[in-house]
Amino acid sequence: MAEIDYSKRSFNYYPTNAIVYATCVDGRWSKPVVTNDFNFSVHCFGGVFHYAPSCFEGLKAYRGADGRVRLFRPDENAKRMASSAQYLDMPYPNMEMFLDLCIMCVQENWDCIPSFESGASLYLRPVLFGINPQLGIKSANDVMFCVMASGVGTYSGAKSLVPGSAVISRNYDRAATYGSGGYKLGANYAQSLHAYNLAHKMGYRELLFLDSATHSHIEEFGSSNFFGIKHGCYVTPNSPSVLPSITNKSLRKLAEEMGLKVERRTIFIDELETFEEVNSCGTAVVITPISRIDDKVTLESGTITREYKYADVCGPISEKLYHRMVNIQKGVEEDPYGWCMFVNDPK
């Protein structure tokens, strides 16, 4: 078989061998099913098609320098899926089941895990959605939990740590003040699609959302959390409508380890001017530097663009954080916090 050139891949679906799923009907979970049929049959009155009782997760399996395969903090994904499902009032897999299906999915797709040298990874996408036929607005009683995988390159398709531009979303909010932004629901992403399309048409890579109540402070990017570096301090927003990112949580720990001060607090838009380094962070984007943020503000006299500019290369502190985290994920450096879970070779 021809070697795959992962440098040509971005964050997309690339065929893999199998998916793993289980259903919960009348409160009882089925045994997991492994199949190479990527289409499943769901009743057309299933809630997922109407009122979006649907949440998902994202985590990566890395082939390490030692050849062993690691999942990064999958227990955190299990907990976050549980909190999303609780918000939707629907059944969800417990920790053991979540981890078991993730492990099975990695093992079934063992030959699709990119090599250590490629710098790529096997992205796992656990999804949970309502399947029972219904018409009234009710939470789902019966659900399907499915874990699928794709061997992905970088999120943008560019080389790691190549900065991109972002625009502040002035006309569209991602999450309401008392809404679902702090949970990983499919519906949150549906809300961002149109705004993303407009931003991409204008040539921006990312969208930066503001708090929906006042449009005065930074919440997060559409795909990831925001963090900035200034005066030896790692600063990231603290808001219930921001997704609690596992990457951001890990970076905060690593920042402290590096002697940085860590602040989780409100970041007003004007403060963007004062950051030495700005990044997006998340499983898919890892750490992606932001070279410029445009804010198109409508005044009585018309629309003006305020530009916040950063370096065209990744900042030194962000780069150090990137390597520290990736080296732990890939077993190049010791994992002092026990973040990595090993997956055994199925053979």
Interface contacts to ligand PLP, rule CB under 6 A: 58, 220, 223-225, 243, 245-248, 282-283
Q: If 0-12 CB within 10 Å is exposed, 13-18 middle and 19+ buried, where does residue 263 land?
A: middle
239 binds ligand COI (CB under 6 A): no
**Distance separating alpha carbons of residues 191 and 69, to the nearest angstrom:** 35
282 binds ligand COI (CB under 6 A): yes
**Distance separating alpha carbons of residues 285 and 153, to the nearest angstrom:** 10
Stretch that binds ligand COI, among 161-169, 279-287, 309-317, 337-345 (CB under 6 A): 279-287
Cβ nearer to ligand PLP, comparing 58 with 179? 58
Task: From the list ligand PLP, ligand COI, none, pick the one residue 245 interacts with, judged by a Cβ distance below 5 to 8 Å according to partner type.
Answer: ligand PLP
150 binds ligand COI (CB under 6 A): no
3-class DSSP string for 88-126: CCCCCCCHHHHHHHHHHHHHHCHHHCCCCCCCCEEEEEE
Among 14, 25, 58, 75, binds ligand COI (CB under 6 A): 58
Q: Are 311 and 275 in contact (CB under 8 A)?
A: no
Residue appearing with tokens 């959302």: 209
Strand ranges in the chain using DSSP code E only, listed in sequence order = 19-25, 28-29, 33-35, 54-56, 59-63, 69-72, 121-130, 143-152, 164-169, 206-210, 218-221, 225-230, 233-236, 261-264, 277-282, 286-299, 302-309, 340-343
Cβ nearer to ligand COI, comparing 172 with 260? 172
Q: Are 218 and 173 in contact (CB under 8 A)?
A: no
DSSP classification of residue 268:
B
Task: From the list ligand PLP, ligand COI, none, pick the one residue 180 interacts with, judged by a Cβ distance below 5 to 8 Å according to partner type.
Answer: none
Task: From the list ligand COI, ligand PLP, none, pick the one residue 164 interacts with, judged by a Cβ distance below 5 to 8 Å according to partner type.
Answer: none
Of 60, 159, 184, 261, the catalytic one is: 184
Residue of minimal Cβ distance to ligand COI: 58
**Distance separating alpha carbons of residues 56 and 48, to the nearest angstrom:** 12
Min CB(191)–ligand COI separation in Å: 13
Cβ nearer to ligand PLP, comparing 16 with 188? 188
Chain centroid offset of residue 256 CA: 22
Judged by CB under 6 A, the number of residues near ligand COI is: 5
184 is catalytic: yes
Cβ nearer to ligand PLP, comparing 211 with 220? 220
Q: Are 148 and 167 in contact (CB under 8 A)?
A: no
Task: From the list ligand PLP, ligand COI, none, pick the one residue 169 interacts with, judged by a Cβ distance below 5 to 8 Å according to partner type.
Answer: none
Task: From the list ligand PLP, ligand COI, none, pick the one residue 220 interacts with, judged by a Cβ distance below 5 to 8 Å according to partner type.
Answer: ligand PLP
- Measured between its terminal Cα atoms, the distance across the chain in Å is 20
Cβ nearer to ligand PLP, comparing 57 with 277? 57
Binding mask 198-227 for ligand COI (x = CB under 6 A): -------------------------x----
Residue of minimal Cβ distance to ligand PLP: 282
Task: From the list ligand COI, ligand PLP, none, pick the one residue 243 interacts with, judged by a Cβ distance below 5 to 8 Å according to partner type.
Answer: ligand PLP
Stretch that binds ligand COI, among 15-23, 101-109, 282-290, 323-331 (CB under 6 A): 282-290
Enumerate the active-site residues. Answer: 184
